[in-house]
Amino acid sequence: MRVQVAIVGGGPSGLLLGQLLHKAGIDAIVLERKTREYVLTRIRAGVLERGLVELLEEAGAADRLHAESFTHNGVVFSSNNDHFDLSFDQYVNQAMTVYGQTELTRDLYDARERVGATTLFNVEDVVLNDLKTESPSIDCTVDGKSIHIDCDYIAGCDGFHGVCRQHIPNNKRKEYIKEYPFGWLGILSETPPVHNELIYSNSDRGFALCSMRNENLSRYYVQCDIKDGVDNWSDAAFWDELKHRIPEQFADTIETGPSIEKSIAPLRSFVCEPMQWGKLFLCGDAAHIVPPTGAKGLNTAASDVRYLYRALKQHYSHRDSTGLQHYSQTALARVWKVERFSWWMTSVLHRFPDQSDFDIKIQQAEIAFLQQNEAAQASLAINYVGLPY
């Protein structure tokens, strides 16, 4: 088999890249380790930057998003029972879009099927060959059958545990990792959101977040011990704990119900340098991870996709490889700014096991400063809605 671009990983970043390349007339194939049905069971983020929405529009996969999503014009910050609204409109001419990653992924799969783009599932034993030559290739098995794929370039969109990053030699690869000593216990419930904007809460009992997917589907989180398990949390225990961590105004009006999904996610900051090696280019979680505070994971993957897509389009349309040559440098410049913002949000809003009384007072002062200072609010708004590409 011969293609111009082979994409390893059929999550949202790989699908988005594949669809954009197809629309540009570039022959690309997507290889996914699991089945489509399995990928669509993953519950992930749902707050999208404008840049990602524009890429979905360009990919021809934004119709349902525009019909069913809703706009996110600000956030609520709280410290125990005190809270304040931070409006994006006051500082930036942009908003966020609330739309579940599962639905976005479904839309991209449907878009690829409509145009006849090739996606292979149940792909295993992936090996990348000859990355530093003009003739890279992939060997793999699909449903137990061996397949060889010749290509010009390979995009590694296969996540933190994927194989692509491991093909960059150890002596050429530097990985920066920060593990956080807590996780997020999250539930999805078929209940109306408690508020029309996201609520980020710092409390004496730990962090909490109130989010949503649509007018009848809500997503809630509480900080928990990294060693905790979902079996330790009944629905009633979760709702009780959430109510203790958010301001009374919202705790008194929240509508509770049975969870339809419950999970614990670890928090990690991670960056791999470089993000390219020969004809291999890493995108999304294969190259970097941020804690979910601030909703930057999928959005940062989208910025990688945009840089790589534009670089490949420039190469094939104009025989100009400048964008490809500088992909890693360009992507990492934005990645590290996003890592800083996500780290800051996490540090300000969570309780840490070794936190002193002084540290807690500093957190409270940071939130008070944000509440009272327009420059601080403008900085947060600029980062939250998404840095320019």
Active site residue 109: no
User: Which of these, 191, 184, 234, lies nearest to 213 by C-alpha position?
Assistant: 191
pLDDT category of residue 46 using cuts at 50, 70 and 90: confident
Claim to verify: residue 325 and residue 377 sit in the same structural domain: no
Active site residue 296: yes
Is residue 144 in a domain?
Answer: yes
pLDDT in tens, 320-358: 999 999 999 999 999 999 999 999 999 999 999 999 999
Claim to verify: residue 168 and residue 115 sit in the same structural domain: yes
Full domain range(s) for residue 261: 181-266+354-385
Is residue 91 in a domain?
Answer: no
- pLDDT greater at residue 98 or residue 44: 98
* pLDDT for the residue 174: 98
Q: Which amino acid is at 231?
A: D
Claim to verify: residue 114 and residue 253 sit in the same structural domain: no
Task: Give the sheet arrangement for strand 276-277, strand by strand.
Answer: 119-120, 28-31, 5-8, 153-156, 280-282, 276-277
Claim to verify: residue 169 and residue 225 sit in the same structural domain: no
* pLDDT for the residue 44: 73
Claim to verify: residue 239 and residue 316 sit in the same structural domain: no
* pLDDT for the residue 213: 85
pLDDT in tens, 7-43: 999 999 999 999 999 999 999 999 999 999 999 987 6
Identify the active-site residue in 12, 136, 193, 292: 292
Length of the chain: 389
Residue 337 in tokens: 């700014």
Identify the active-site residue in 12, 22, 72, 313: 72
pLDDT category of residue 214 using cuts at 50, 70 and 90: confident
* pLDDT for the residue 59: 97
Identify the active-site residue in 22, 279, 288, 296: 296
* pLDDT for the residue 368: 96
For the segment 247-265, the average pLDDT, to the nearest whole number, is: 96
Largest CA distance in the chain: 63
* pLDDT for the residue 257: 97
pLDDT at position 254 over 80: yes
pLDDT in tens, 142-154: 998 999 999 999 9
Is residue 80 in a domain?
Answer: no
Claim to verify: residue 257 and residue 140 sit in the same structural domain: no
Task: Give the sheet arrangement for strand 137-142, strand by strand.
Answer: 123-129, 137-142, 145-150
Is residue 88 in a domain?
Answer: no
Rounded Cα–Cα distance for residues 270 and 283 (Å): 13
Claim to verify: residue 115 and residue 11 sit in the same structural domain: yes
* pLDDT for the residue 42: 78
Rounded Cα–Cα distance for residues 303 and 77 (Å): 27
Q: How many domains does the chain have?
A: 2
Claim to verify: residue 39 and residue 173 sit in the same structural domain: yes
Active site residue 148: no
Residue 48 in tokens: 């999208």
Identify the active-site residue in 109, 316, 327, 384: 384
Identify the active-site residue in 200, 221, 307, 316: 200
The whole-chain average pLDDT of the chain stands at 96
Residue 292 in tokens: 């979910």
Percent of the chain with pLDDT over 90: 96
pLDDT in tens, 89-129: 999 989 999 998 999 999 999 999 999 999 999 999 999 99
Residue 351 in tokens: 């309780």
Q: Which amino acid is at 319?
A: R
For the segment 295-300, the average pLDDT, to the nearest whole number, is: 96
Claim to verify: residue 359 and residue 262 sit in the same structural domain: yes
Claim to verify: residue 195 and residue 291 sit in the same structural domain: no
pLDDT category of residue 56 using cuts at 50, 70 and 90: very high
Q: Taking a C-beta distance cutoff of 8 angstroms, is the pair 258, 189 a contact? A: yes
Claim to verify: residue 38 and residue 146 sit in the same structural domain: yes
Task: Cis check for the bond before 247: say yes or no (omega within 30 of 0).
Answer: no
Claim to verify: residue 120 and residue 55 sit in the same structural domain: yes
